[in-house]
Amino acid sequence: MNVNGASVPALSLQRVRKVYAMGDSEVVALDDVDLEVAPGEIVALVGPSGSGKTTLCSIAGAILSPTSGRVVVAGTDISGFNPKQLTAVRRDLVGFVFQSVNLVPFLTARENLLVVDEIGKRTGAPARARADQLLGELGLADRAKNLPAQLSGGQRQRVAIGRALMNDPKLVLFDEPTSALDSKLGMAVMELIQQEMKARGTAAIVVTHDERITRFCDRSVHMDDGRITKS
């Protein structure tokens, strides 16, 4: 992977277009989108349902391939990658925090972090040390052995953040990270995200409906009908 220090953008989308076939007609989910996210920058992606946020997020996170255009993640052009290569990009360069938390229910908090290592490089001891460190930083040291069911909503979200950071990603994608939480807890989680991203210099895109959380971000990008309307 080509990582050339801080000057390379964490994400660069150039004239990215995504078209879905729906029966005989076509639906344009992303329409010539350009977006650049600098290292350490936190971008809020705001827009109504169906505006293309999720598609943009999926393409940036190497889950989907664009129909046309160029996608560069941390200096690596992934536009023409096959599914196998995309899987490797997700594993090595990108982190995800999903809306419905999605922790593995039968694994402890610590093991949920180690899953990333197990399906990836399998470094063993270093991974365990990193998991412990992350749990400590996220205030979960005493919860390491708890199963998700034994954790509060906020704690679960913090475990999910820890999991996203396990592979030391260049870009973390947050999909509505506060929607399942009450507003006070939501704000606390956003504060934590801001703090953790800034401390690591990791770029982040936060997909949200909620205008209130944009204040934790460096800038907001608005989407509508597959286009970026305000940036």
Q: Where on the chain is the footprint of another protein (CB under 8 A)? A: 49, 53-54, 57-58, 61, 63-64, 84, 87-88, 90-92, 95-96, 98-100, 102, 104-107, 111, 115-116, 118-120, 149, 163-164, 167, 173, 175-176, 179-180
**Cβ at position 7, least distance to another protein in Å:** 26
CA distances (Å), origin 67, targets 15, 32, 92, 143, 223: 10, 10, 23, 44, 19
Task: Give the residue with the Cβ less far from another protein, 27 or 106.
Answer: 106
What DSSP assignment string belongs to 189-226? HHHHHHHHHHHHT-EEEEEES-GGGGGGSSEEEEEETT
Q: Which is nearer to another protein, 167 or 220 (CB)?
A: 167
Q: Which two tokens stand for residue 108?
A: 């402890």
Which residue, 10 or 29, is less far from another protein as judged by CB? 29
CB-CB contact of 78 with 89 (8 Å) = yes
Least distance to another protein, CB of residue 46, Å: 14
By beta-carbon proximity to another protein, the closer residue of 78 and 164 is 164
Q: Kindly state the smallest distance separating residue 108's Cβ from another protein, in Å.
A: 9
Please report how close the Cβ of residue 87 comes to another protein at its closest, in angstroms.
6
Can you spell out the DSSP letters for 157-193? Answer: HHHHHHHHHTT--SEEEEESTTTTS-HHHHHHHHHHH
